[in-house]
Every structure is written in C-alpha cells, then in structure tokens.
Structure 1
Amino acid sequence: MAQKSAEYWRERFLALEEQNNRSAAEAVKETVAAFNQALAQAEKELNAWYNRFAQNNEISLPEAKKWLAAKELKELRWDVEEYIRYGQENALNHQWMKELENASAKFHISRLEALKIRIQQSVEQAYQKQTDQLQQLLADQYTEDYYHTVYEIQKGLGAGWNIGQIDQRRLDLILSRPWTADGLTFSDRIWNSKTQLLDNVFKGLTQMCLLGEDPKKAIDRLAAQMNVSKKQAGRLIMTESAYIGSKAQQDCFNDLEVEWFEIIATLDFKTSEICRRMDGEVARMSDYQIGVTAPPFHPWCRSCTCPWFADDEPGMRAARGVDGKTYYVPADMTYQEWYEKQVEEGFEEFKLFPEEKKLIYKGYEEGLLLDLDGSVIFKTSGTESQVRVPKEYLNKAEGKIFTHSHPSDYPPSDTDVYRMYQYKMSEVRAVTTEGVYRVVNTGKWKKEFDSAEEFRLFYYEIGAELIEQYGEKIEQGLISIGEAEKIVQDSVLKELSERLGFVYEFTER
C-alpha cells in the first residue's frame, strides 16, 4: 500500500484535536453552570443571613460574632447534617467533611461562622463537581485518543495488529503525575483555587460587617471573585485536556515505534504566536517534551501532533501483535469495527497458565518457574512478603517465565525486575487478586548494571521524588499510605520501563 501523504496525517489528527476541543468546551459549560449555581446559593444565604440579623440596615462585626441562639443553632445543625449526607454520597473532600462533623458537635457557633459554613458548602460542591468531571474527562480522553491514534495509524498504513486494553492503574498513574514545572497536578490546582476563593470570600464578609456595608456590595464582590474562579476553571479544563491528548499521542507513538512527529497548529485569528512558529516543525520522538517541543505550549493551546514518515522509509514496524500476526486494515473499516478486532480480541489473548491461577488467592508468596508453554520447572513457597529461588534454578531461568503470588496486591519489586535482568528471564509476573503485573524482557536494555545494589539505587532515586509528592497528599488526607505506596511502586516501574527498555503492564482480572 502506498505511503499516505503528510497532508493526510495532518488532516486526520487535526480532526481528533477538534473533537477533543469540543468535549472540553462542553465540560467548561457544565463547570460554569456549577459555579453559577454555587453563586446563586451563596447570594441566597447571604441575603437571608443579613435580613435576619441586620439592625438599621447594617450589621456590625460584634453583632456578627454573637453566638447563635438555641433555635438558630438547631437549624444550622439540620443543615450541617444535610451537608454531611451530601458529602458522603458525593465524596466531598475529607478535610471539609471533618470540619462539618466538628461543627455539628459544637455548642457555640457565631452568626458569622454559620454564614461561612453555608457559603463554603456551596463552593465545595462546585469544586467537587469540577474535580470529578475533569477526572472523568481526562480518563476518557486519554483512552479514546490512544485508541483513535492507533486506529488512524493502522488505517493509514493499511496494516494492523492487536493491542491490549488500557487498565485503570495506567490511567491513575498518568492523571496523578504532574507535568508542569511547578510540580502541581490538576487536583492541586483546583484545591489552590478553591482555597484562594474561600479566603477572599471570608475576608469580604468580615469587611462587610466591619464597615457596615450594604449586602449588595458583598454580593458584587462575591460575584467578581466567583467569576475569576470560573475563568480559572475553564482555563484549567482546556489546558489539561490539551495535555492529556498530547500525552496519549506520545505514549501511542512510542508504543508503535513511530520515530518522528510533526506539530500541527489550528490556524485562525486566535492562534498564538508560539503556535504559529511551531506549526509544521518535525522532531524525533526522543525529543518529545510536552510544553517545550510538543503541545500544549500555553493555556488554551489547540495545537496537536501527528506521526511523520520520511518518503523513503516506512517509519515503524507492523508486526507488533502478541501472536506475531499482522492484519490488513481496510480503508472503509470503521473505528468500532477496528476496536472490537484489535483491542478487545487482543486483550483476550493474554491469559494465566493453569498453574498460575492457583496463585491468585494465596496468603503468602509462592513462586513458579515456567517454560513458555506453561509447564512447571520449579515451585517454591515463601512468606507474606518474599519468596526465595535457589541459585541452581535461577541459573536455568534464561528465556523462562518467573511468576509468583503477591498477596499484598502490589506490583513487582525492584528485586523481581533485577532478577529478570540478571538471569535473562523472558518475563516476571506478579499475580494478585486484582489482576496480573507483567515485566517483559525485550532484550534491549538501555543501561547495564553490575550489581543488585547498583540497580536498587537507580530504582530508589526515581522513587524519591514520588514519595515526597505523595507524602503531601497523605498529610492532606487525600490518599491512604497503602494507596500511595502502591501508586509510587507502579509509577517507578512505569518510569523504569521507559528508561531501561523493558515492557511493563497490568492486566485486570
């Protein structure tokens, strides 16, 4: 089949980018609606509060700081209990839930504090909706962009091969990894924006009481502050959407061994100067750096990338299926037909060997050295956290599969990976109740190690940055220690696979 022209690739991938922009724009509309609803509720609470406690059309700070009367406190507790129920059903952040629980147990709450609680509940709801919506948008977009990129490339080349499904752990890793220079994730930015808004709102309420202002001034201030937050939310959604689209294409291009990429800008009167300059630039995939050599280059960026193939070379190898087969992709094949054939069928190809299935619910680590056909060469049992293999069997492990149970449900350890490297195993697997972790030896290691200690130092250097990042999330109550450890270990293996050249994946049960 003749090689497709550069213009073909530009058109196909620009169309994908336009679809992403439409999806992100819809998300922005929904987020703006949530903020408008929060503003309306806050205005309602402020007016009701003012009408109840104001004297001579104003309320002083001493009056605002008076305790609620018994009846008023009872009414607030009813509201707080309702807020707590809402929070439990909609997973509001842990810190605010704790504050609500503390408020429900207090015997004395000031009038001003009661108003702040009611307004903060509206703000918390709006930001939680933004967080949930953006999380879902990015997860869906990464998956769809990855598969559509594979589809477009296979269709353009006229050859296809089965690929596996993207598992939840891979998505969690990508979404939790910061990509900007300040080291903040999208959830960090939402948290900071919410904190800043609440600080400004609360200062404005105190100022209203101190100066004896009309509530309309406080409401106008609140609306202006909320408007800033809405714009920040819209910018965040569009920019994170652009990032995740670029990340999906980067991962897909690397997985398909595309060697070069081209930058495509959406050219109209709104196109930025940097995107105009970068449009049409071609670079190696090894130089793909989001925000520097690949989009997004700025907030609201609409540029994207496409594969670039030189006229005299194919640009990638086609035979990438698990079974080694290559498939023809008809020009009229729809995306859904392609997905069912190449993704769903490809996913079903990996299965545990019969003896491995017995490892799933083991309460201790049990190891099996297997031939490629699944026959057992050696079997050994260990403790809850480790299993030892005699040297005589490790010396026979070249080209074989070492599989073992992980009752902790954690990914393979640094020892597992180094063992595969040292003894030239074909693959190492960790079988858990949730699924199977696989570390596959490609035989093309990008770095050599003289000892297990040298490898361990390399491993922990990568992990140190992640441990610090998740330590802050643990302190904030956003994640448990166990969840953090598992994500860090998973993240390190993902990073190692890219730096060293082995394949790392997780297949859910």
Structure 2
Amino acid sequence: MTYWEDRAKEIIDEESKSDYEIAQEIQRIVDEMNEDIEDEINRFYARYAIKEGISFIEAKKKIDAVDVQMFQQKAKQYVENKDFSDKANAELRAYNTKMYVSREKLLQAQLGLIVTYAFAQIEQSMYNYMESAYYRALEQQAGILGETLQVSINDVKTIIFTPFKGHKWSTRLWSDMDVVRRHVQKTTRHVLLRGRHPYEFVKDLRKDTGSTSYNARMLLLTETARVQTLASKRHMLDQHGEDAEYEFVAKMDERTSKTCRSMNGKVFKVKDMIPGVNAPPMHVWCRSAVVPYVGNWRDKFFAERKGKYNLSKFTE
C-alpha cells in the first residue's frame, strides 16, 4: 500500500468521525421539533378538549387576537435571532402575513412554523458542515503535498451550491420540508377533530420523522462528498495543472458497494474528474476519497536521466 493510499484511508476515517457528529446534530434538531409539536398539541388539547375530544364547532371558533399576536411575535423572533438563508427567512416571514380566523387554522400554522424553523436550522447546519468539509478537503490535499492554501469564499459558496444530478441540495431539503409540514397539519386535523388523543398523533409523528432525519443525513453526507471532491479537484488543478492525475480510493469493508469496489485504485486525469462518474459520491452515503497520483517517481526519475551521466570516472 502506497503512502497516498494510507493517507486516503486516514482521511476517510477522519471524515467518518465528523459525519457522526453532524448526524447527531440533525437528530437533535428533529427530536426538538417533535417535542415542540407535542407540546403545542397538548396545550391546544388541554385548552379546548371536551370528553369526546375537540369538537368541530370548538375548532372553528374565532381565535383570540392575543393568540395571533403571540404567534406572530414568535415567528418574528425566529427570523431575527438566526442568520438563515433567504429561502428560510421567506418561509418564516410568511407566518407573519397570513390571516388566521379559527383555532384549527392557527394550530396548523403553529405546527407549520415549528417544522419550518427546524428545517431552517437543518439547512444552516448542513451549509456550515459542507463549508467546513471544503476547507478540510483543501487542508488534507495540501497536507499530503506540503503546500499552502489560498481560498476564496466565493469559490466555496459556488461549489456548495452547485447542482448535483440536476438539483441543488437546498431545494431537495425544502421539498422534504413541504412534505413533512403538510403531513403534520393534515394528520393533526384528522386526529384532533375525530376525538383521538394527541398521544396517537405523537406516536405516528415520531415514526414518520424518523425518515426525515434519515433523509437529511443521507442528503448531507452525499453532498459533502461532492463538495470535497470538487474542492480537491480545484486544488489539484491549481497546484499541478491539467496533466495531473488522481487515484480513486474506496473505503474497503463488508459494506463497500460494487461500484466503489470496482473503482478502487483506478487513476484518472484531474481535469476529467466528475462527481458521480469517476469520483465520489458514486452513490448515496458514498465515503470514498480521491488523492493525488504520483506513480513510481523513482522509476520515472532514473528513466528520464538514463545515459546522461557516466559514473565510470568516479570509480577507483
């Protein structure tokens, strides 16, 4: 095994540890979202429920202006207290401008705001993680060859938001949010207005949002692999030119995919590096890596100098 292959395996192990930490962060946000939804539903139920549950008439009653004001203030604080993306802020601000005429509609809005806020946090965490992953990739490549780093923040943003397979990761994330938000609001209405206890809804919610956490982690780790591949490509081209080569190094264990196993050890031109084609990610959850390919420099060194030097005159 070459030095470069050893270094690639170290990089893969380092990234696995970082991936675990961000996965825990995403799960924390989703768990907090579930708890907030549960609290909101329980408050609603305790306030308006009768023996048979929440009656249709009670749910349709006009809401108190104070309730609306408190809710809109909460939405405003979410926007002011966090440096979210333009998309996230637009989604959150929408709750300040809508009119709510019934208790049912206000509850749906409250739950929708909780979901939106959670996804805004997930988006922010994902961006921050991909940004740090970009810098880690540059440091790893520079560390391999003992080079210095020159980084433009615009380059980082461009790579992070480059579409992969026709879509931006942030667009995929907000599409998932729409699905979760609609599901939460629809299920809440069915549960509460049919006399069922909120516990039944919460139990189903935690089951459904398990896929939310899974999908977010899958999206993040796949996109992070893409970001790091493009960071490595840019660095190799800048430092070594278009004739530079790289080696595909797979994480070899019992879970290694057939695709990555077949790619392991193959060498390509850096200028031809394309994520999903001949570089990570080759599939979701892909944790393969790329490293500079130097080849056997000793053979090349002596081959280029063969016949140029006569050592006989130095012999005794």
Per the TM superposition, whether the score is higher than 0.5 is: yes
Contact 1:61 1:209 in 2 (8 A): no
Note closer, same or farther for the CA distance 1:254–1:152 as it changes in structure 2 (3 Å cut).
Answer: same
Partners in 2 of 1:61 and 1:24 — Cα distance? Answer: 47
Contact 1:239 1:299 in 2 (8 A): yes
Note closer, same or farther for the CA distance 1:261–1:61 as it changes in structure 2 (3 Å cut).
Answer: farther
1:245-394 equivalent positions in 2, closer than 5 A: 245-257=228-240, 259-311=244-296, 312-313=299-300
TM-score, normalised via structure 1 length: 0.55
2:70 aligned with 1:78:
yes
Moved more, 79-88 or 134-143: 79-88
Instruction: Specify the alignment match of 2:31 in structure 1.
Output: 36
Higher strand share: 1
Of 163, 166, 170, the residue aligned with 1:178 is 163
Instruction: Specify the alignment match of 2:306 in structure 1.
Output: none
Note closer, same or farther for the CA distance 1:243–1:231 as it changes in structure 2 (3 Å cut).
Answer: same
1:34-73 equivalent positions in 2, closer than 5 A: 34-68=29-63, 70=64, 73=65
Of 225, 233, 238, the residue aligned with 1:242 is 225
* Cα shift at 1:217: 2.0
What letter matches 1:8 in structure 2? Answer: Y
Instruction: Specify the alignment match of 1:388 in structure 2.
Output: none
Partners in 2 of 1:292 and 1:44 — Cα distance? Answer: 47
The Cα RMSD (Å) is 2.0
Partners in 2 of 1:133 and 1:75 — Cα distance? Answer: 31
Consecutive unaligned residues of structure 1, counting only runs of 5 or more, are: 1-5, 155-159, 315-509
2:209 aligned with 1:226:
yes
Instruction: Specify the alignment match of 1:202 in structure 2.
Output: 185
2:8 aligned with 1:23:
no
Contact 1:142 1:245 in 2 (8 A): yes
Partners in 2 of 1:152 and 1:129 — Cα distance? Answer: 34
Secondary structure of 1:256's counterpart equals: helix
Q: Which runs of 4+ in 1 moved over 3 A?
A: 60-63, 209-212
* Cα shift at 1:310: 3.0
* Cα shift at 1:210: 4.9
Partners in 2 of 1:302 and 1:61 — Cα distance? Answer: 52
Secondary structure of 2:2's counterpart equals: helix
* Cα shift at 1:145: 1.2
Partners in 2 of 1:14 and 1:245 — Cα distance? Answer: 15
Note closer, same or farther for the CA distance 1:126–1:248 as it changes in structure 2 (3 Å cut).
Answer: same
Percent sequence identity is 23
Instruction: Specify the alignment match of 2:305 in structure 1.
Output: none
Contact 1:17 1:304 in 2 (8 A): yes
Of 130, 133, 136, the residue aligned with 2:125 is 133
* Alpha-carbon displacement from aligned partner over 1:485-508 (angstroms, at most 9, x marks no partner): xxxxxxxxxxxxxxxxxxxxxxxx
Higher helix share: 2
Greater relative contact order (CA < 8 Å, ≥ 6 in sequence): 2
Partners in 2 of 1:52 and 1:172 — Cα distance? Answer: 47
* Cα shift at 1:63: 3.4
* Cα shift at 1:45: 0.7
Of 168, 191, 215, the residue aligned with 2:174 is 191
Partners in 2 of 1:66 and 1:243 — Cα distance? Answer: 51
* Cα shift at 1:266: 1.0
* Alpha-carbon displacement from aligned partner over 1:363-397 (angstroms, at most 9, x marks no partner): xxxxxxxxxxxxxxxxxxxxxxxxxxxxxxxxxxx
Secondary structure of 2:128's counterpart equals: helix
1:408-423 equivalent positions in 2, closer than 5 A: none
Partners in 2 of 1:17 and 1:252 — Cα distance? Answer: 18
Secondary structure of 1:283's counterpart equals: strand
What letter matches 2:13 in structure 1? Answer: E
Instruction: Specify the alignment match of 1:442 in structure 2.
Output: none
Secondary structure of 2:101's counterpart equals: coil
Moved more, 32-41 or 280-289: 280-289
Contact 1:25 1:238 in 2 (8 A): no
Note closer, same or farther for the CA distance 1:262–1:120 as it changes in structure 2 (3 Å cut).
Answer: same
* Cα shift at 1:35: 0.8
* Cα shift at 1:198: 0.4
Give the number of aligned pairs: 294
Instruction: Specify the alignment match of 1:397 in structure 2.
Output: none
Consecutive unaligned residues of structure 2, counting only runs of 5 or more, are: 302-316
Partners in 2 of 1:18 and 1:176 — Cα distance? Answer: 26
Contact 1:24 1:237 in 2 (8 A): no
* Cα shift at 1:94: 3.0
2:139 aligned with 1:147:
yes
